Amino acid sequence: MNLEHLNELKKLLSSPKKIAIIPHKNPDGDAIGSTLALWHYLVNTGHTASIVAPNDYPKFLKWMPGSDQILNFEKENSQSKSCINNADIIFTLDFNHLGRVGQMSEILESAKATFVMVDHHQEPSDYAKIMYSDVKMSSTCEMVYVLINQLGDENSITPEMANCIYTGIMTDTGSFKFAATTSNTHRVIADLMDKGAEGTEIHHRIYDTNSPSRLHLLGCALKNMVILEDYSTAYITLSQNELDTYNYQKGDTEGFVNYGLTLDGIKFAVIFIENKEEGIFKISFRSVGEFSVNDFARKHFHGGGHTNAAGGKSDDNKEETIAYFTSLLPLYKNQLQS
């Protein structure tokens, strides 16, 4: 955060405030970890803070300290609206455009609070008065760690906060293997462990608590994988019927898209997941090297994200979506084969 915005934030937080903390829709480990860590910090420093999530989040994240305090906008609508409307400050974490909060966007757009954005995605919009945007950071959780240090409160990180921050960094870096993982990321992790983060236990809670139905769904996804060697590309499709057959629960497809990148020679991996309730196919894009899935998603699939990890959507049916996607690949053949 630049010095001007940091000083402005310090001034805002110099007296007790009512604060709402907002993650994006379908929050992942980084979104939940960062909002919980910030919530603990703000409550511990004398503020009245609430987390309002646009919708539910995966069961494998619900062990995190303070997660029972998160309000679900869909299920606790009046209480959620009250927190937002009465807030002096609204922190938005792990997203940079109000369109990422779904049906909550309207109430946020009309809120009178001072907005503070903390996010590491590309091309932020300008709704926040105070911005901490850094696309080179591994995760929003790492940014929250840095922000707490910049506020002069590095010694205030409790074991509960350390566990939350560690979780977000671990999940958003693919267990520290993605390119955004820097030497400083590892130094942050080391400090979090010194402050009480339980790395082995966190890994177990995130990755080793699968249900049999999730593993069966993974088997279905891998069986559906299509490999396009000419374009160094692999894609997976999952229909609503397949999700229903294997008793899909929120978060069950987390990480499925990455399996394509484990194949030798594959640089571009995609998963298309049908959501009949919304009438769309949700799409996750992953890449290695210089091929920007952020640019690809923004240009063709109403999405965006990072250079090597992005999301998008299609309003067409499966056949039309796949046909359109494959028709685009010749345009990128040189990039994908370089």
DSSP string, 68-113: GG-EETTTSHHHHHHHHHT-SEEEEES-SSGGGGGGGHHHHHT--S
Summarised one tens digit per residue, pLDDT across range 209-240 is 999 999 999 999 999 999 999 999 999 999 99
pLDDT band at 62 (very low <50, low <70, confident <90, very high): very high
pTM of the model: 0.92
Summarised one tens digit per residue, pLDDT across range 165-210 is 999 999 999 999 998 999 999 999 999 999 999 999 999 999 999 9
* Cβ-based neighbours of 78, under 8 Å, separated by 6 or more: none
Tokens encoding 112: 């009178």
| Average pLDDT across the chain, whole number | 96
pLDDT band at 75 (very low <50, low <70, confident <90, very high): very high
Whole-number CA gyration radius for the chain: 20
* Cβ-based neighbours of 210, under 8 Å, separated by 6 or more: none
Of 284, 218, 209, residue with least CA distance to 246: 218
- pLDDT(338) > 90: no
Of 19, 6, 80, residue with least CA distance to 47: 19
Q: What percent of the chain has pLDDT over 70?
A: 100
Q: What pLDDT, on the 0 to 100 scale, is given for residue 315?
A: 96
Query: Spelled out in words, what is the top-level CATH class assigned to the domain 212-337?
Result: alpha beta
Please, where in the chain does CATH 3.10.310.30 lie? 212-337
Tokens encoding 250: 């929120």
Q: What pLDDT, on the 0 to 100 scale, is given for residue 33?
A: 98
Average pLDDT in the 75-79 region? 96
What is the Cα–Cα distance from 169 to 109, expressed in whole angstroms?
Answer: 29
Q: What percent of the chain has pLDDT over 90?
A: 97
Q: Which amino acid is at 130?
A: I
* CATH superfamily name and code, 3-207: inorganic pyrophosphatase (n-terminal core) (3.90.1640.10)
Cα→Cα distances 29→32, 60, 206, 273, Å: 5, 9, 9, 20
Please, where in the chain does CATH 3.90.1640.10 lie? 3-207
**How far is Cα of residue 103 from the mean position of the Cα atoms in its chain?**
18
What is the Cα–Cα distance from 156 to 98, expressed in whole angstroms?
Answer: 30
What is the Cα–Cα distance from 128 to 148, expressed in whole angstroms?
Answer: 19
